[in-house]
Chains A and B, each alone.
Chain A
Amino acid sequence: EAGVAQSPRYKIIEKRQSVAFWCNPISGHATLYWYQQILGQGPKLLIQFQNNGVVDDSQLPKDRFSAERLKGVDSTLKIQPAKLEDSAVYLCASRSKGQRDHYEQYFGPGTRLTVT
Chain B
Amino acid sequence: LAKTTQPISMDSYEGQEVNITCSHNNIATNDYITWYQQFPSQGPRFIIQGYKTKVTNEVASLFIPADRKSSTLSLPRVSLSDTAVYYCLVGLISGGYNKLIFGAGTRLAVHP
Q: Is the CB of B49 within 8 A of A97?
A: no
B99 proximal to A (CB < 8 A):
yes
User: Any chain B CB within 8 A of the CB of A56?
Assistant: yes
Chain A, residue nearest B94 (CB): A103
- Check if B95 sits within 8 Å of A97, measured CB to CB: yes
B49 touches A108 (CB 8 A): no
What is the bound-complex CA distance between A109 and B96, given in angstroms?
23
Interface residues on A, range: 20 to 34
Report whether A98 and B100 are in contact in the complex, using a CB–CB cutoff of 8 Å.
Answer: no
Stretch with Cβ within 8 A of B (4 or more), from A38-46, A69-77, A80-88: A38-46
Return A95 CB to nearest CB of chain B, in Å.
6
Of the A-B pairs whose beta carbons lie under 8 Å apart in the complex, a sample of 17, sorted by A's number, is A40-B104, A42-B105, A44-B102, A50-B96, A50-B97, A55-B97, A95-B98, A98-B96, A103-B32, A103-B34, A103-B49, A104-B46, A105-B44, A105-B46, A107-B45, A110-B43, A112-B41
Is B100 in contact with A45, judged by CB distance below 8 angstroms? Answer: yes
Partner of B96, one of A93, A97, A105, A107: A97
Tell me if A91 counts as interface (CB < 8 A to partner B): yes
Within the complex, the shortest CB–CB distance from B52 to chain A, in Å, comes to 14
Interface assignment of B65: CB less than 8 Å from any CB of chain A: no
Contacts A42-B87, A97-B95 known; A105 to B102 CB distance under 8 Å? no
Q: Are B46 and A98 in contact (CB under 8 A)?
A: no
Query: A45: which of B93, B95, B101, B103 is its contact (CB, 8 Å)?
Result: B101
Give which listed residue, B32, B95, B98, contacts A105 with CB less than 8 A: B98
Cβ–Cβ contact A102 & B49, under 8 A: yes
- Complex formed: what's the CA distance from A48 to B97 in Å? 9
A105 pairs with B100, CB closer than 8 A:
yes
Q: Please, which residues of chain B bring their CB within 8 A of the CB of A42?
A: 87, 102-105
Residues of A close to B95: CB separation below 8 A: 97-98
Q: Which of B63-112 contact A (CB under 8 A)?
A: 87, 93, 95-105
